[in-house]
Structure formats: C-alpha cells, structure tokens
Amino acid sequence: YRGQRRRIASLSDTVNVIRVRNEDGCWSTASQSVLLALPTQYESGADIIACEPTDGFPFSVEFDAGQYTIYQDSTEEPQEVPIVNYRLYRGDTGEDLASGQIYTAVNGGEYVVEVSDGCWMHTDTFNVELFPNPVIAAIDTVIYRQVTVLAENGTQPYRYAINNGAPQDDKTFKNLPNGDYTVYVIDQNGCEDSMSFLFDSSYEIEVPNFFTPNNDGFNDRWEIRGLEKLPESIIYIYDRYGKLLRKYSSTDPAWDGEYLNRPIAADDYWYVIHLLPIDKYLRGNFTLKR
C-alpha cells in the first residue's frame, strides 16, 4: 500500500471485508457495511399545454426529483441527501437552458431534463405547446349605448364578457349605462385578452317599441323622446324587405304610419337613427299596430 486510492467495483448491499498488505508483507483487515444508492428514477410529468406568456407573466417549470437515502455505516442513522444536479436543454437543438430546479419557459418545443445524484443519471423528455392569445383590436362605440368588441388572433370561435358577467357568443353589449368597464375575449383554447375603458353616453334617447296610428289620440305617431337634444339627427324607416319608407329629421313631425299618403299594414318595421353631430347610430325594429 503506497497511499494510492483504489476503486473497488461490483460491491453489493452487504458487509464487505477489505484486506490491505503493506510493503513489509503485513496484512490489515477492515469491514464496512455499504448500501449502494439506487438509480435515480425521475419523470418530468405530463406535457405542458398553455397560452402564450404575456409580457411580464411568463410561466415557470419547476423540477423536483426529491431525495435519496444513503447509509454510511450500519450503526449510523440514514442520511437524506437531495438530488444535486439538474440540467435542462432543448431536445431539438441541444441548447442548454438551465442548471437549476426552476426554468422560466418562453417558447414551445421539446425539452429534456437531466437529473443526477452523483451516482446515477436519468433523463426525461417533455413538450411545451403554446397557443396564441386572442387580441382585442378595438372597441366600437359608434352605435349609441352599445359596445362591440373586435378581436383577432387566437383560435375562434370567441366568447365575450364584460365586467363580472357570464361569457356570451355575441360580441355586442347593449343598453350600457355610463361607467368604467372591462371587456374580455376568450378563445376556443381558453386563452384571453382584456381591455378597460370609460363609457360615457351623455344623451338619453328613448325609442318606442310600437305605436298605434288609429287616430284615437294615443301613440298615433312614432315619437322618439330625447332627439330634441340632437336636432340635426336623421331618421330612416324601412320595411322588412329593406324598402325605405320615410327619411326625416328630428325636427320634422314623427312618422304617422303612412307611405305616399296611404296607411300601411300592421307589421314590424326597421329604423336607423343617425345621431348628429355626435356621429353615432341607433338601429333596431318596432311594431306598427292597428
């Protein structure tokens, strides 16, 4: 024995006896109880499917292979030793990404995590799939007391929500009072975008749902209340086939249910009110009853 280290292979979980002879021919014997560490078993878990991270909100992947137990001597208490080495790299390029337990992922693709405890090494592969987020491109408030959400990107069909309301298929929200709002668009994959805005509609206009032009002195004309505040406004009335029956300004007498000086049939009719000078529109339908 000259002080060199000797590696002894193929030991097993048992009491191993070691005999060493020095240069004088004298032998020394020692025994040591050795329990070998088991191979590291590690799975990185299921593939990750998520929405694309937004600015300031990336998602993180944390690896935790746990601990393993070693026994230095049969008379000593076992020691819990943590897995000491992690390595994460891209499966397609081999690019090293992280050497710790936490990695902030920003791209989709195949990843390989390598776990080593000093004796054994284990690798596992997982994939990250990122869905594109929808984007609220604009909020249209041209029509009076209505908000229409215009969305793009993401995966259609979209659903829409406003404040704490339930999502709906219709992208338009009607009859909104003045106030602060936040609208949301949610795509087919559950990815979403939001936008906050102040809605201020200063004019209160009441459009009747029906009128009864029978010359009894009640509801004989289709009177739109509140238009006196916008005297430049123009009203268009159409039948169900899109034929223009009357065009008049808000200062003219209200419609009396006639076309070319003849009473028209009881039916549903459609209107477009161009609110001027604020350049907004009201659209809808009403019923003429006789």
The residue among 262, 250, 257 whose CA lies nearest residue 215 is 257
For 104-120, the pLDDT digits (tens) are 766 788 888 887 766 66
Peptide linkage before 277 cis (omega within 30 of 0) = yes
The CATH architecture one would assign to domain 134-199 is Sandwich (2.60)
Specify the CATH architecture of the domain 48-131. Sandwich (2.60)
Strands 280-288 and 79-82: unpaired
What pLDDT was estimated at residue 114?
Answer: 81
pLDDT at res. 18: 65
How does pLDDT run across 67-89, given as a tens digit for each residue? 544 444 444 555 555 556 778 88
pLDDT of residue 70: 42
Cα–Cα distance for residue pair 266/212, rounded to 1 Å? 9
**d(C-alpha 266, C-alpha 279), whole Å:** 31
Characterize the bridge pairing of strands 121-131 and 48-51.
parallel
pLDDT beneath 70, residues of the chain: 1-20, 30-46, 54-84, 100-101, 105-106, 117-120, 202-203
Domains 48-131 and 210-288 share a fold: yes
Kindly indicate whether the domain formed by 210-288 is annotated with CATH number 2.20.28: no
- Rounded to a whole number of angstroms, the CA Rg of the chain reads 39
Contact 246, 258 (CB under 8 A): no
**Between the CA of residue 219 and those of 112, 208, 256, 289, what are the distances in Å?**
76, 10, 9, 10
- C-alpha 114/C-alpha 4 separation (Å) is 33
The verdict on pTM exceeding 0.75 is no
| Parallel/antiparallel/unpaired status of strands 210-211 and 280-288 | parallel
How many helices (H) and strands (E) the chain has is answered by 0, 24
Q: Where are the domains of the chain?
A: 48-131, 134-199, 210-288
Instruction: Look at residue 260 in the predicted model and tell me its pLDDT.
Output: 93
Q: What is the pLDDT of residue 205?
A: 82
